[in-house]
A and B are shown apart, each in its own frame.
Chain A
Amino acid sequence: MSNSTNLTMDKPTPTSLLDTGAQGLIGEPLQRTEGPLKVSGNATYAAEYALEKVAYGVLVGSDFTLGKITKVDAESVKSLPGVIDVVTDFDSFARNPQQGGETKAPTQGVEDVAYRGEIVAIVVAESFEAARDAAHRVVVEHDAPKAEGRYDFETQRHKTDKPADDQIPAHFSQGDLAGAMAEAPHVLDVTYTTPSQNSAAMEPHATTAHWDEDGILNIYGAYQMPSSDKQQLAKALGVSASKVRIIARYIGGGFGSKLGIAPEAVAAAIAARQLGRPVKCVMARSQVFEATVRRSNTEQRMRLGADAQGKLTAIGHDSLVSNLDGEDFFEPCGMATHFLYAAENREINHDMVRLDWLLAGSMRAPGEAVGQLALECAMDELAEAIGIDPIELRHINEPDCDPETQVPFSSRQLTRCLDEGARKFGWDKRAAPGTTRDGEWLVGLGVAAAARGNMLQKSAAKVTINVLGKATVETDMTDIGTGTYTILGQIAGELLGIPLEDVEVKLGDTNSPPGAGSGGSWGAGSSGSSVYLACENLREQIAEKMGVAAEGLTLKDGHAIGDNRRVSLSELVGDRGLSAEGAIAPGKQEKDTRQSSYGAHFAEVGVNTTTGEVRVRRMLGVFAAGRILNEKTARSQCLGGMTFGIGAALTEDLIHDPRNGKLVNRDLAEYHVPVNADVPQLDVVFLEERDVHANPLHAKGIGELGISGAGAAIANAVYNACGVRVRDFPITLDKILDGLPAM
């Protein structure tokens, strides 16, 4: 018997072994298995490996925005006590991070500075203090820029190019949008803008680079997708991928910002090679803001046309987004607009404005997070214009299959989420805008739909049962706070009948089989399926040893039960143990069905009658994302997403100085992520669901569903509270104040 089981999702998987497992682990709100390590300070992040002779690297970013470097004045700092060297390599240093999942090197070459803060050198010293001091003193001389800088979106927005098609086509058109708009009795044509945002994971980007005696580069790095990151880094350094090992056991948050290799990894690896000793390099928080990746700012024109009853005949979603020269990624704002609502005439376009700002790339729910701010506010505005309830409007426009490709939805419970939520939240209490008072606060309710496309990625894992009857799961998949350690343990434990405490999950090491990595909410479905398949294979091996058919086998509490016998796994597998590999890959199901997770957000806000300040008072998210593998960690993912939604709606605004391209607010005091007092006790409800088209677990993505639409529910609640419709995010008090009713 082969000890590997591979599956390409060309067909649905009508039955899942998770429904017949006997261990009782699946779906339970179990505590994170790595929890005790994290709460006691014993989980080891990238900069926390105690390596012999490690030197400290501090990065030097350009303090000008454009121009060719003529000299990096290293000599003056080399004599400072403790300084070892100033290392730069104009050709090899990364100009900016790579996007996630790419196998090419990040864009390299830093001599011609492309944006302010670009990493141009690394100072290495015996201590962090010495390196930091010297890095501040390094003078980088440069020529005047050849061209005038493009720092202002407003002045550049007319010069666009059409980006290359990516996950979705840059341009899409069906039917006759203009014609339908001209005929529709109800039309809306409004423009929303969202600013650049930063993922602001709490752990700054960090790499400890160590070339060992065998010429292998060991990277302890804060990276979400080690298997592709390894290839990116190898290419950047001109070595074979087999010479690079990435270890990322614990990652202090990512949210997309750590998908691709970033400048600090390349700099640390080059410095470590040159100096012949390990180099640890942690970005300063200001460098995380300036030189990693932002979510693009967007300008989104929404056109909706509806008939007298509210049935949409036209949907137009035209987005302007921005990025650096030579970078293809475009913020796919229209991602969910492709399938969320029925309408015959549709246009969904994305155009690129080239700016000399730092890289734009993935941040939690690229596309949906900001796209649904526009779409779901527009739906609210349309409902108001027609004079119907916004939930009713969504009912009326619920498509019965994909409105563009006509393929069926793999599973879709959007309207149930809305209805359940309405009941639970007390939606019937919603009054006319500006009419509910609570002391000095105007109070309002808002709703928005949530949708996040479901994706499957290639992923592999190895599962072993040893002579003690304990299991080990190995894959280079990561846990960035998502719960991977726990759910992979649950899946293996359930399918092998082994208690969770006897399943060890080893993640984040590229010496293990290549996993999907953490991104795009695909982790649980992809990596979980690889573990499932490996366990399915082990079950067959165990059944053979028991002399029973796999279907007649029950595995529970470390024992195999079949044919009226109960034998311990330990005895069955013997000294040599058993092992198997599983691998999943996306297949035809991706095209044959439209796959997405859905939800509904409800928000209650107060708007201060005097100051215009907005406070979120209550929020509820009702979600349907296939099988929920762990109710506790899934809920936490949703809390996190919803809170990102609060930030996007009310506070987060990365400001680029239009005169010189400087980031105005490059720290956590000025870039406002929500703090504890900004977030009420949020409510999360999951609907029962199975998705047989998604993967053998029947689970869909959850990590980004919570952010999708969340901010729109808040914006709609703000409107309902005070009658002011702000289309320029974030909704800060200055934008509300003038429109407040006189008191």
Chain B
Amino acid sequence: MHFTINGQSHEVEPDIRTSLLDLLREHVGLTGSKKGCDHGQCGACTVLINGRRVNSCLTLAVMHQDDDITTIEGLGTPDNLSPMQAAFVKHDGYQCGYCTPGQICSAMGMLDEVKKGWGSHVSKDLTNPELTDEEISERMSGNICRCSAYPNIVDAIREVAGADA
């Protein structure tokens, strides 16, 4: 099968039972995406598939022939962090770091959803939502952080979104 992962072509023949998360971690050697629950309950495994955020533990690798997958490793490197990654460092949007790759990928996908005008449970205007702190918190609630860096995660995302706008 063929996948594009972080801009690179990968030919892998996964077991039909292999989740996209395990494909990344165990077969491609990209361990940045984390496994916190393997059940779609924590968000630690969030990656971007064709630009949209997805819990990679909840989708089988074989469903992603030719898909364009972006993991945390594809967003930036330690020496060349993406703006979102740098904002997480600046605002201490993490502690143990285990949920962090998922938070950052999720934040990227989330900002794109807001840009496209997708509403949420807390949006005042369902077709043209404004990115308030409440909106960020709501939309990031699929990503658990047991270290509870939530206020700092919101600070980081707000800053990046503001710079973008």
Contacts and interface: CB of A to CB of B under 8 A. Distances in A.
A200 B92 contact: no
A220 interface: no
B89 interface: yes
Label chain A's interface by main secondary structure: loop
B78 to A, nearest CB: 4
Label chain B's interface by main secondary structure: loop
Contact of A40 (B35, B41, B75, B146): B75
B149 A285 contact: no
A443 to B, nearest CB: 17
Interface in B86-102: 86, 88-90, 92, 94-101
Contacts of A633: 92, 95
Nearest to B140: A676
Interface in A230-277: 250-255
A739 interface: no
Given A40-B81, A285-B39, A679-B151, A129 B15 contact: yes
A203 B94 CA distance: 14
Nearest to A44: B31
Contact of A202 (B31, B42, B90, B138): B42
B89 A676 contact: no
B151 A42 contact: no
B20 interface: no
Contacts of A44: 31
A203 B34 contact: yes
B52 to A, nearest CB: 19
A639 interface: yes
A676 B44 contact: no
Given A202-B145, A668-B39, A39 B81 contact: yes
B39 A252 contact: no
A669 B152 contact: no
Interface residues of A, number: 64
A668 B148 contact: no
B32 A636 contact: no
A37 B145 CA distance: 18
B137 A677 contact: yes
Contacts of B141: 675-678
Contact of B144 (A127, A284, A483, A668): A668
B38 A35 contact: no
Contacts of B15: 127, 129-130
Nearest to A679: B150
Contacts, number: 194
A41 B31 contact: yes
Nearest to A482: B95
A45 B88 CA distance: 19
Contacts of B100: 38-39
Interface string B68-95: 0001110111110100011011101011
A31 B37 contact: no
A151 to B, nearest CB: 26
A667 B37 contact: yes
B147 A36 contact: no
B147 A40 contact: no
A42 B78 contact: yes
* Max count, chain A CB within 10 A of own CB: residue among B88, B144, B151: B151
A32 interface: yes
Nearest to B153: A676
A211 B90 CA distance: 40
Given A203-B96, A482-B95, A668-B36, A681 B154 contact: yes
A404 B102 CA distance: 49
Contacts of A729: none
Contacts of B85: 36, 39-40
A41 B149 contact: no
Nearest to B136: A676
* Max count, chain A CB within 10 A of own CB: residue among B42, B77, B95, B148: B148
A64 interface: no
Given A285-B38, A677-B138, A40 B150 contact: no
Interface of B: 15, 17-18, 22, 25-26, 29-39, 41-42, 44, 71-73, 75-79, 81, 85-86, 88-90, 92, 94-101, 104, 133-134, 136-138, 140-154
23 contacts: A32-B92, A35-B88, A39-B81, A39-B88, A39-B104, A40-B75, A40-B77, A40-B78, A130-B15, A202-B34, A202-B42, A202-B96, A202-B99, A202-B145, A202-B146, A203-B36, A203-B96, A204-B35, A253-B98, A481-B95, A640-B147, A667-B41, A678-B141
Given A250-B97, A255-B146, A682-B151, 16 more contacts: A39-B72, A39-B76, A40-B77, A40-B85, A47-B31, A128-B26, A252-B36, A252-B97, A285-B39, A481-B147, A637-B95, A639-B149, A639-B150, A639-B151, A675-B143, A679-B151
